[in-house]
Chains A and B, each alone.
Chain A
Amino acid sequence: MFSPQVEIMLIASVVAVACAIVGVFLVLRSMAMMSDAISHSVLLGIVLAFFLTRDLASPALIIGAAVMGLITVFLVEMLHQTRLVYEDAAIGIVFPLLFSIAVILISRHAANIHLDTDAVLLGELAFAPFDRFIYQGVDLGPKALYIMGAILMVNIFFITIFFKELKIVTFDPQLAAVLGISPVVVHYALMSLVSITAVGAFDAVGSILVVALMIAPPATAYLLTDRLHIMIGLSALLGVASALGGYAMAHYLDASIAGSMATVAGLIFAIAFLFAPGRGLLSVAKRRVEQRWNFALVTLAIHLWHREKLSPVVGNAYAIQELRQHLRWSSTYFTSVMERALKQGLIAKRDQYVQLTEEGRNLAREGQGF
C-alpha cells in the first residue's frame, strides 16, 4: 500500500490515539497503574488461549487477553475489598503473580514456539509491516494496522456513545448511582477497552510502553485544559505527536522505535510540566512568589492602617526606622517590600516618614476582610 516507513508511522499513530483516548479516563479516575497491571497480565490470557487453540494468529488470543485483563481488575478489587490490603499493594501482588504464571507456562510448555516474553514486554514495531493482510491474493496492507484500526474504532464508538455516562461516573460516582448509571458496569466496560487496547498495542510497542502511551499524553493534556472533550482530543493529538516524533528520533539514532516514542511522550510531558499556563511548574512558582510579596504588602498596609486608627495625629507620620523595628523584618526584605509598596502607590514617603495612601487603606481593608 505505502512504503514500510509510512506504514510504521501510521500504525504507531493509530496505536497512540487508541491508547490516549482510553488513557484519559484512567488518568482522571486515578487508575493509571491499572494499565501497568493489565498490560502485563494479558500475557497469561494470550498463553492460555494459545494452549486452547494452538494457533498464534487466532483471534481467540485477543479475547483471552481481554478476559484476563478483566480478571486482573476483578482480583485486585477482590483483594482490596477484604479490607486487608491497600489497593496499590493489591495491584502490585496480582499482576506479578499472573505474569509469573505466564512466564512459567511459556518456559515449561512452549519454549519451542514463537512466544517470546521479551517480545511481549518490548514489542517490535519495525517488524509490523512484514505481517500482511492478504485477501484473495491482494495485499491490503499490514495486519497490525487493521487490528489496531478496529480497536481504535471500538474505543471511539464506545466513548462517543457513552460519553455522558463516562463523564458522570468519572467525576461524580454518587450522582451516577442516583441517576441509575451503574458505576460498576461503566468501570468494567472501561477496563475491557483498556484490556483490548493493551493487547492490540503491545504487539506493536510492548506492554511497558503501552503504559507510556496510555498515561503520558492524557496527563499532559490534563495540565493544559479543564474540559473533558478537549482533553480527549488533545491527548489524541499529543499521542500522534509522540508517535511521529518517536519514529523520527528512532530513525535518527537507529534505536528502538517504541522506546523513542515513550521518550518523546515523556519530553512533551516535561515541557507541559514546566511551562503549562496556570498549572506548570513555572506558573506555580511565579504565583507563589507573587503571593509572598502580596502577603508582605497587605501586612505592611494593615500595620500602617492600625497605627493610623490608634493615633490619628502621630500615625500619619511613621518613622521608617521605627516601622522596620515594629515589623521585625530583615533590612533587605524591608527595603524591597517598601520599594514595591511605593511603586504600587500604596504608601507615600516624606523624608524619613511614611504614610498610607487611599489605595493602601483600601488594600488594608480588603486584607482584613472588610
Chain B
Amino acid sequence: MIELFNNLFFDHTLRTVALGAGALGIVSGALGSFAVLRRQSLLGDAISHAALPGIALAFLLTGNKSALVLLSGAAIAGAIATWLVTNIAGLTRVKYDSALGIILSVFFGFGLVLLTYIQKQPNANQAGLEKYLFGQAAAIVEKDVLIMAGLGLVALFLLFLFWKEFKLLSFDRDFGTTMGYPMALIDFVLTTLLVLAIVIGLQTVGVVLMSAMLIAPAVAARQWTDNLAIMVLLAAFFGALAGVSGTVASSTISRMPAGPAIVVAVSFLVVLSILFAPRRGVIWQRGRDYLLRQRFRALGGKKDV
C-alpha cells in the first residue's frame, strides 16, 4: 500500500497517466451530469464514434499527426454529428434513438473506409486505429496531459461562467425561452463542451468506453443529492477517483488494460450509489417501506394491504 502511494507520487509514468485519467474524469463527470439530466446520455456514444472520420479526414487533409490537429478534426466531426442527430429527430418522424444509431454507425463506417484507404496509401504513417478504439492510457505523455488539462480547464471555466444558463437549459428550457435567453445558442455551447470532453477522453479510454465515463459518474452522483452543484462536484470527484484507481489497477496488475479498468471502477461506484445512497438508494427505500409497514400494522392496519 505504501509502495503504491510512493509510486503514485514519485513514479513519473504512473503519475502522468494517473493525472491524465483523473483530469479526464473530472471534466467528463462534470459535463456528463448535464448530458444525463437532459436525457442525452447516449449522445456521447454517438459523438465519440462519429469522431473517427474527423480524425481520418484531418490526417488526410493536413498529413499531420499531431494531437491538436486530429482532436480538432474529431471535434468538428462530433459537432456535425450532433447537429445531424438533432435535425433528423426534429424534422422527420424518425425518432431520436434511431437517429443516434444511424449517425453513430454510419459515421463510424465512413471513418473505417477512410482509415483503410489511408493505410493503403504509399507514404502512410498510420494513424493508430487501435489506439482510437481502446485508448492507450499507458502511452500518455506529459504533453498530452497538458493539452487535456488545458482543454479541460477551458471547459470547466465556461461551465462556471454559464452555470445559470446551463441549469435553465437542463431543467426548464421553455421558461428560459420566455425569459428571452437564446436557448439554442446555450444548447450549442453546452454541446460543444460535451464534444470537447469526449475528444479529450478518446485518447485515454477509447471510443467504446467513453460513454461510460460521461454517464456513470453522473448517475452515481445523482443518487446522493438533489442539488445540481453538488451533483456536478460529486460526479467530477467520482470520475477522478475512477480514473486514478483504474490506472493504478492497470499498473499493479499485469496485463490489465487501463481503459476497461477505469470503466469497471466507475461502474462499481454506480452500483454502490444505487444500493446505499441515503433516501434514494434501493436499500434505504426498502428499509423505509419496511418501517412504514411496521408502523401501519402497529396502528392496527390489515396485514396484506
Among the listed stretches A53-61, A94-102, A170-178, A340-348, which one makes contact with chain B, having 4 or more residues with CB under 8 Å of it? Answer: A94-102
Considering the complex, which residues of chain B in the window 32-73 have a beta carbon less than 8 Å from any beta carbon of chain A?
Answer: 36, 39-42, 44-45, 49
> Quick one: given A86-B41, A103-B134, A107-B255, are A265 and B97 in contact (CB under 8 Å)?
no
Which of A100, A101, A259 lies in contact with B110, CB distance below 8 A?
A259
Q: Which residues of B lie under 8 Å from residue A134 when comparing CB positions? A: none
Contact A118 B133 (CB under 8 A): yes
- How many Å from the CB of B273 to the closest CB on chain A? 9
Name the residue of chain B whose CB is nearest to the CB of A207: B208
Which of A107, A108, A262 lies in contact with B109, CB distance below 8 A?
A262
Q: Which residues of B lie under 8 Å from residue A96 when comparing CB positions? A: 208-209, 211-212, 216, 263, 267
Contact A92 B42 (CB under 8 A): yes
Does A115 reach chain B (CB closer than 8 Å)?
no
Contact B36 A86 (CB under 8 A): yes
CA A107 to CA B264, docked complex, whole Å: 15
- How many Å from the CB of A145 to the closest CB on chain B? 22
CA A96 to CA B211, docked complex, whole Å: 8
Considering the complex, which residues of chain A in the window 75-100 have a beta carbon less than 8 Å from any beta carbon of chain B?
Answer: 79, 82, 84-86, 88-89, 91-93, 96-97, 99-100
Contact B101 A211 (CB under 8 A): yes
Q: Which residues of A lie under 8 Å from residue B223 when comparing CB positions? A: 84
- How many Å from the CB of A224 to the closest CB on chain B? 11
Name the residue of chain B whose CB is nearest to the CB of A219: B98
Does A362 reach chain B (CB closer than 8 Å)?
no
Does B129 reach chain A (CB closer than 8 Å)?
yes
CA A88 to CA B98, docked complex, whole Å: 13
Which of B94, B98, B112, B274 lies in contact with A256, CB distance below 8 A?
B112
Interface of A is mostly: helix
Does A196 reach chain B (CB closer than 8 Å)?
no
Does A63 reach chain B (CB closer than 8 Å)?
no
Contact B215 A89 (CB under 8 A): yes
Contact B116 A255 (CB under 8 A): yes
User: What 1/0 flags go to B195-213 for Cβ under 8 Å of A?
Assistant: 0000000000000110110
CA A281 to CA B89, docked complex, whole Å: 11
Q: Which residues of B lie under 8 Å from residue A70 when comparing CB positions? A: none
Which of B111, B215, B274 lies in contact with A259, CB distance below 8 A?
B111
Contact A104 B110 (CB under 8 A): no
Considering the complex, which residues of chain B in the window 176-226 have a beta carbon less than 8 Å from any beta carbon of chain A?
Answer: 208-209, 211-212, 214-216, 218-219, 222-223
Contact B110 A89 (CB under 8 A): no
Q: Which residues of B lie under 8 Å from residue A108 when comparing CB positions? A: 254-256
Task: Jot down 20 A-B pairs with beta carbons below 8 A, ordered by A.
Answer: A32-B95, A32-B101, A33-B100, A79-B274, A82-B282, A84-B223, A92-B215, A93-B219, A97-B264, A97-B267, A100-B209, A118-B134, A121-B208, A209-B112, A212-B109, A214-B101, A254-B120, A259-B110, A266-B105, A266-B106
Interface residues of B (CB under 8 A from A): 36, 39-42, 44-45, 49, 88, 91-102, 104-117, 120, 129-130, 133-134, 208-209, 211-212, 214-216, 218-219, 222-223, 254-257, 259-261, 263-264, 267, 270, 274, 280-282
